[in-house]
Amino acid sequence: MTTLIESEEHKALREAVAAFANNHPRTPGTDNRPFWQEAAKLGYIGVNLPEAYGGGGGGIAELSLVLEEMGAAGNPLLMMIVSPAICGTVISRFGTEAQKREWLPALADGSRLMAFGITEPDAGSNSHRITTTARRDGADWLLTGRKVFVSGVDIADATLVVGRTEDARTGKLKPCLFIVPRDAEGFQRRPIDMELNAVEKQFELVLDDVRLPADALVGDEDAGLLQLFAGLNPERVMTAAFAIGMGRHALARAVEYARERTVWNAPIGSHQAIAHPLAQAHIDLELARLMTQKAAHLYDAGDDTGAGEAANMAKYAAAEACVKAVDQAVHTLGGNGLTREYGLASLITAARVSRIAPVSREMILNYVSHQTLGLPKSY
């Protein structure tokens, strides 16, 4: 049963992560690898990974909580969504014993990172149109295709790439996941010029007959769809946590300003035109957090179907709440909200990302309309 009240262990974890993150202020866009390493030493990065492989033995509930608190402190780690949540989860659930031994302890202790490549130029949010193809060549695989908007490839030791087997072209989708080392021959990356002020850069990947050994395949060749969504559901939950943390951070800055900024002998926060929108932003963030907790609980309980629905709803709700909170925070500060001193203006662009990635809000509405409500598809 989903509990609406956090356990004492989760409350203690929140407090510890908040204290840690608040003691490590960082200027946006600067190197965050020292922060990553310190967080890993404390067990935060691998809190969701199995204890047998050096992790904390928790789940996505704990990992999303960590990311939210880091975001609320203004120091989120985007690669937490990718490396331990997506890649670590997929390898934990479907990897071979050798893959688990090689990757999970290193992902948990922060010594290695893994990126995740799924989005393609012509596929967008439609994973059913993936064209990156894997074909057998003796005992090896040859992987060919393109990926875009892949985070952190330059700092990752490998990328978990989503392709599909050639016989999928007959009509049946059979995605496969491959671990591609960063120095693999034929594996090229090109940075995408983004206006996001983030240390984690975005890349376009070109895979030109990248030769991979048989053991680069993660899981069963014929069970790829299940394995793919085992990574995508945690991605949505973690994106929701990222957005909630960002929204909380912006809201806290605005509330602090509204308490202190005095006009006509009264703090501006005493005026309902200022106070009510901030209160609404807080309510929306709290509601999004509840759905995120539900989604994480369902996923950790092994309910992939229920988690899929809840994770999509959580990501939608959190993105909307985040965008509104950031917008209201900037508006509360007026001109100061656009200055570098207060650090809110850069969040305007960052908040929009949560509406777009890893899946657009329109695709989530499509999912809910036909999967949850049973309405006919328009596509």
Q: What is the pLDDT of residues 13-51, one digit of tens each?
A: 999 999 999 998 776 667 889 999 999 999 999 999 999
Give the number of other CB atoms < 10 A from CB of residue 272: 9
- pLDDT of 125 above 80: no
Q: What is the pLDDT of residues 75-99, one digit of tens each?
A: 999 999 999 999 999 999 999 999 9
pLDDT > 90 in the chain, percent: 84
Position 236 scores a pLDDT of 97
Do the beta carbons of residue 307 and residue 371 sit within 8 Å?
A: no
User: 127 pLDDT band (50/70/90 cuts)?
Assistant: low
User: 173 pLDDT band (50/70/90 cuts)?
Assistant: low
Position 228 scores a pLDDT of 83
What residue ranges do the domains of the chain occupy?
8-113, 115-220, 225-372
- pLDDT of 168 above 70: no
Q: What is the arithmetic mean of pLDDT over 218-231?
A: 79
Q: What is the arithmetic mean of pLDDT over 335-356?
A: 95
Position 32 scores a pLDDT of 87
pLDDT > 70 in the chain, percent: 94
3-state SS, one letter per residue, for the chain: CCCCCCCHHHHHHHHHHHHHHHCCCCCCCCCCHHHHHHHHHCCCCCCCCCHHHCCCCCCHHHHHHHHHHHHHCCCCCCHHHHHHHHHHHHHHHHCCHHHHHHHHHHHHHCCCCEEEECCCCCCCCCHHHCCCEEEEECCEEEEEEEEEEEECHHHCCEEEEEEEEHHHHHCCCCEEEEEEECCCCCEEEEECCCCCCCCCCEEEEEEEEEEECHHHEECCCCCHHHHHHHHHHHHHHHHHHHHHHHHHHHHHHHHHHHHHCEECCEEHHHCHHHHHHHHHHHHHHHHHHHHHHHHHHHHHCCCHHHHHHHHHHHHHHHHHHHHHHHHHHHHHHHHHHHCCCCCCHHHHHHHHHHHHCCCCHHHHHHHHHHHHCCCCCCC
Q: What is the arithmetic mean of pLDDT over 219-240?
A: 86
Superfamily of domain 115-220: Butyryl-CoA Dehydrogenase, subunit A, domain 2 (2.40.110.10)
> Domain 225-372 falls in which CATH fold?
Butyryl-CoA Dehydrogenase, subunit A; domain 3 (1.20.140)
Residues 6+ apart with CB under 8 A from 39: 20, 45, 66, 70, 77, 110
Which tops the pLDDT comparison, 32 or 204? Answer: 204
Of 178-192, 196-210, 280-294, least confident by mean pLDDT is 196-210
Q: What is the pLDDT of residues 261-291, one digit of tens each?
A: 999 899 999 999 999 999 999 999 999 999 9
Tokens standing for residue 352: 């929009």
Q: How far apart are CA 62 and CA 89, in angstroms?
A: 13
* Closest to 309 measured CA to CA, from 319, 318, 300, 299: 299
Contacts 24+ apart (CB under 8 A), 30-33: 30/199, 31/199, 32/75, 32/77, 32/199, 33/155
Position 141 scores a pLDDT of 96
Q: How far apart are CA 294 and CA 74, in angstroms?
A: 24
Please state whether the predicted TM-score (pTM) of the whole model is above 0.75: yes
- Find the largest Cα–Cα distance for the chain: 80
Q: What is the arithmetic mean of pLDDT over 133-159?
A: 95
Question: C-alpha angle with apex 274: 270 to 276, nearest 5 degrees?
Answer: 95
- Rounded mean pLDDT of the chain? 93
Question: C-alpha angle with apex 369: 364 to 373, nearest 5 degrees?
Answer: 135
Position 5 scores a pLDDT of 81
To the nearest 10 degrees (0 to 180), the angle between helices 224-260 and 345-356 is 150
Of 21-25, 67-71, 142-146, 218-222, least confident by mean pLDDT is 218-222
User: 123 pLDDT band (50/70/90 cuts)?
Assistant: confident
Architecture of domain 8-113: Orthogonal Bundle (1.10)
Position 175 scores a pLDDT of 83
